[in-house]
Every structure is written in C-alpha cells, then in structure tokens.
C-alpha cells in the first residue's frame, strides 16, 4: 500500500514541476468483483459470441466455466451508458476496412468509461504467410491498442491478447489472459500485447486459488518485489519456498513465516544452488512446480568507466545463476508436472538505460533465455516467461533524488510508479495453469513506458 505522506509529497512535487496529477489505481482486494459494471463485447461471428457467452451468464461448456462469469454484457453500445470494460473481438479480420465498425464503436464509449476502466482486444498475430491485407489489418490492431493506451485517462488500461493461428478464443490462456486483463490484478499493465502461442494449459478449479497444490520457489524473497511475489503466490494457493542470501536471514524468515512457507538461505551463484533448491523443495514439500527468478543486483557505472568487478558481479547474479539453476532443474527429472519458470527482466533490458550497461545485458539476457528455454519445457506442459517491470516504488527507488524520482514516475502513460504487487500479480498469472499457452514471452509491467521501447 502506498504511503499517504509520500503520496502527498509526490502530488505537491508534481504540481511544482507542472505534471498532471496521477489517478490512484484500483488494485485487487478480497471479495472484489471481477468487473465493477457492464462489459461491452464488440465484434461479429462465433468468436465474439463465445467471448460474450463466457463473460455473461450463458452456458459455456467449451471453457469449463459452466454458467460463465455472470457479468452484465452488452453487444452494442447504448447511448449515454457507462461501461466498466470494452472487449473488442477482432480475430476474423481480413482487411483494414473491417477495423471501422468495431473500433469506432469502442471509441464512442471511451469518454464514458468508469474510473479504472478496461479496454481489451482479441486479435490474431500477423505473419509473413498472411495475405498483405490480412497482415495489415492484424498489425494495425497492435498499434491502435498502444495508441488508445496513450490517450486513456482515469486509470483506464488498454491491452490486447494476440492469438496464434488455430488458437481458439476458448483456450485456457485466452480465457485466463482475458480475466487477468479485465481484473484489477493488471492495474499497471498498460499498452501491452500479450501473445498466446498454443491452446495448452488448464483452467483452475478455483479462480481465487489457481495455485493450490503447487510448490513455488522465489529467489530474492526477503524484501521488496520478491517478498510481494511470495505473498501473492501464497494468496493464490501455492506453498512458497523463500530464498535469499544468509545476510538477509531474519527478513527472509519473516516472509516465509508470514506466508506459511519455508526459508532457504542460499547464495544463488553457488555452483550447487539448483540442486540445493530442488533438494529443499522435495524434502520439505514433496515437489517443485514453479521457480521465480527474482534475485538481482545493480552496480551502475557509465560504460566507459565500468570495472571488471562491477560487470562480472551483475552477470553472475542476474543471469548466469538463473541459467545454471534452470539447467539443474531441467536435467533432474523432478521438474516435469506442467512446470513454470518466471524470470524478472526489466524495461532496461528492452530499451537500455544510461549507466546500466551491465544490468541491461543481464535483463536483455533474461528475455533471450526464456524464449530459448520455453521449448525445452513444452513437452512437459511447462512454460518459461519473463516479467519486465518499469519504474516500481521500492526501497531502492526511494533513495533516488526526489525530482529524478518524480520525473521517472511521469515517463509512462499512467503517470505514476507501479508497486511491487503489480509485478507480483503478473508473476502469479504466468505461474498459473491457465497461462500454459504463453511460451517464452515477456510481459511488461510498466504503465506503458513511453521512452525507448
């Protein structure tokens, strides 16, 4: 939860610098409805009908959702009606001319979206095998989503699910991804196109506890984003093994006790770190299903002044350790029940950042690593994906100069920093059974960072 004193100072500083005040984002809370109001589903054809049936109370045997999600759904915009969310189903596009009707219908509703509204598109990925008109229409959707995001106000987010050819709208990762993007769990995910690669995965028996029965390891779990990830995975039903260096032992134990998990004091750069993680999980909990690589360090210096020690330390912790741990897991024979690997990258790994060449190399390395690791897990129903945070309010960013920090908050379309829980929610989604069709992807949690990438 944001500190109210910090928020007040931040608001005053924003005013002095001439920045627009940020709208507080609505985040998940117990007993909160999935969508607080009516959902408008736009589009024609069987896919749009299936999505409307899922969201409404209509039966939907294909998704295993029984009576559906019980939301009030409209299929055509009503004059003067305020909608909580707009879902545009654009999977059947064959020409840019066909963007006119659904997108302009969506545009007519945007000024009336409630605070924290949601705009979500479902479309197909453009490929080199498409006819030119088809590829043009599909690629156009991606750019429109990003543009809507940049124009959105009031905490509204705009995102899209991009389905590979042959993936039905009723596939688990489409259904799960739609639920995630409609919910307040995705409060700081904005202007993103999340690809769904296959129809793999499974819908959870309980949407509130999708990780029940799963054992998850979180590295760097003693504080900050890592501690938030541990809490969120436990909230969703997982048994958590919290890992961090021995010097953080007291904080680590506190986190593990709070989530009713276990603590493992470990230097992840040790050659046997992967074996020790697996041994602990199997001995204490009987299995290992999810590994979240969160541990990381910075040693910032302009590239021309970078020392060998600064470079090597960041490489060792931020990427080499992950590669070694993954290899131990993949060769063990004990990480084969729809396993999940989720690594924390950064927008710096996509766009670079002054004074962080070493850090950028590792965070870009994470993106390449998960892309190459995902096929190795696919035979077991597993996935490897990354989450790339933008500016997140942590102990580390709190030490930045006040003006620099406030400027950093403004460099995204939501005009504020994210919270550790925003990263944790994305990790929890990618760790879930319903994300089984998302392979080797990087989900940015950055409020649509407008610089560089």
Look up residue 318 and give its DSSP letter.
Answer: I
Helix (H) or strand (E) holding 13: helix 4-17
Kindly report the CA angle at 345 between 415 and 179, in degrees rounded to 5? Answer: 65
Q: Which two tokens stand for residue 303?
A: 């590239």
402-410 and 4-17 helices, crossing angle to 10°? 80
Of the listed 69, 83, 188, 359, which one is catalytic?
A: 359
Coil, helix or strand for 445? strand
> What's the rounded Cα separation, in Å, for the pair 221 and 54?
37
Q: Which two tokens stand for residue 148?
A: 């809507």
Nearest to 194 by CA among 237, 159, 241, 236: 159
**If 0-12 CB within 10 Å is exposed, 13-18 middle and 19+ buried, where does residue 310 land?**
middle
> What's the rounded Cα separation, in Å, for the pair 246 and 266?
6
Q: Which two tokens stand for residue 332?
A: 């063990």
Pair 322, 368: CB distance under 8 Å = no
> What's the rounded Cα separation, in Å, for the pair 55 and 76?
15
Beta strands 157-163; 85-89: pairing state: unpaired
Told to judge if 83 belongs to the known catalytic residues of this protein, a careful annotator would answer: no
> What's the rounded Cα separation, in Å, for the pair 20 and 358?
34
CA distance to 55, 330, 339, 384, 402, per residue, from 430 (Å): 21, 19, 11, 9, 34
Q: Which two tokens stand for residue 114?
A: 């409630």
> What's the rounded Cα separation, in Å, for the pair 6 and 157?
24
Nearest to 33 by CA among 150, 133, 107, 114: 114
State the catalytic residues.
Answer: 359
């Amino acid at each position: 939860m944001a500190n109210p004193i910090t928020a007040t100072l931040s608001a005053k500083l924003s005013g002095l610098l001439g920045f627009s005040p940020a709208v507080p984002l609505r985040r998940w809370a117990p007993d909160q409805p999935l969508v607080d109001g009516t959902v408008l589903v736009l589009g024609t054809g069987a896919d749009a009908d299936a999505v409307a049936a899922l969201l409404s109370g209509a039966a939907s045997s294909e998704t295993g959702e029984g009576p559906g999600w019980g939301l009030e759904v409209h299929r055509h915009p009503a004059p003067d009606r305020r909608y909580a969310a707009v879902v545009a189903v654009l999977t059947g596009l064959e020409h840019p001319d066909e963007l006119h009707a659904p997108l302009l219908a969506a545009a007519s509703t945007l000024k009336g979206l409630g605070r924290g509204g949601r705009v979500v598109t479902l479309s197909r990925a453009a490929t080199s095998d498409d006819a030119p008109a088809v590829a043009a229409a599909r690629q156009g959707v991606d750019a429109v989503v990003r543009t809507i995001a940049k124009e959105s106000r009031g905490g509204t987010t705009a995102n899209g699910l991009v389905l590979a050819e042959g993936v039905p709208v009723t596939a688990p990762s489409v259904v799960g991804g739609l639920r995630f993007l409609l919910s307040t769990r995705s409060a700081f995910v904005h202007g993103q196109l999340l690809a769904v690669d296959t129809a793999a995965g499974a819908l959870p028996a309980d949407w509130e506890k999708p990780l029940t029965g799963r054992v998850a390891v979180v590295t760097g779990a003693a504080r900050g984003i890592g501690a938030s990830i541990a809490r969120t995975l436990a909230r969703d039903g997982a048994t958590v093994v919290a890992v961090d260096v021995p010097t953080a032992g007291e904080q680590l134990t506190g986190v593990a006790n709070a989530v009713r998990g276990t603590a493992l004091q470990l230097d992840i750069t040790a050659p046997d770190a992967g074996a020790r993680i697996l041994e602990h999980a199997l001995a204490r909990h009987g299995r290992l299903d999810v590994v979240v690589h969160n541990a990381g360090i910075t040693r910032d210096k302009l590239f021309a002044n970078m020392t060998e020690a600064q470079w090597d330390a960041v490489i060792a912790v931020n990427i080499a350790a992950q590669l070694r741990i993954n290899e131990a897991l993949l060769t063990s024979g004990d990480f084969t029940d729809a396993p999940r690997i989720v690594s924390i990258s950064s927008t710096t790994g996509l766009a670079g950042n002054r004074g962080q060449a070493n850090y950028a190399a590792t965070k870009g390395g994470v993106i390449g690593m998960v892309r190459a690791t995902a096929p190795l897990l696919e035979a077991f129903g597993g996935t490897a994906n990354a989450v790339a945070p933008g500016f997140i309010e942590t102990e580390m960013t709190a030490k930045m100069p006040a003006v620099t920090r406030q400027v950093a908050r403004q460099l995204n379309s939501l005009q504020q920093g994210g919270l550790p829980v925003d990263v944790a929610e994305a990790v929890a989604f990618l760790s879930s059974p319903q994300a089984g069709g998302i392979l080797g992807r990087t989900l940015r949690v950055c409020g649509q960072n407008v610089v560089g990438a």
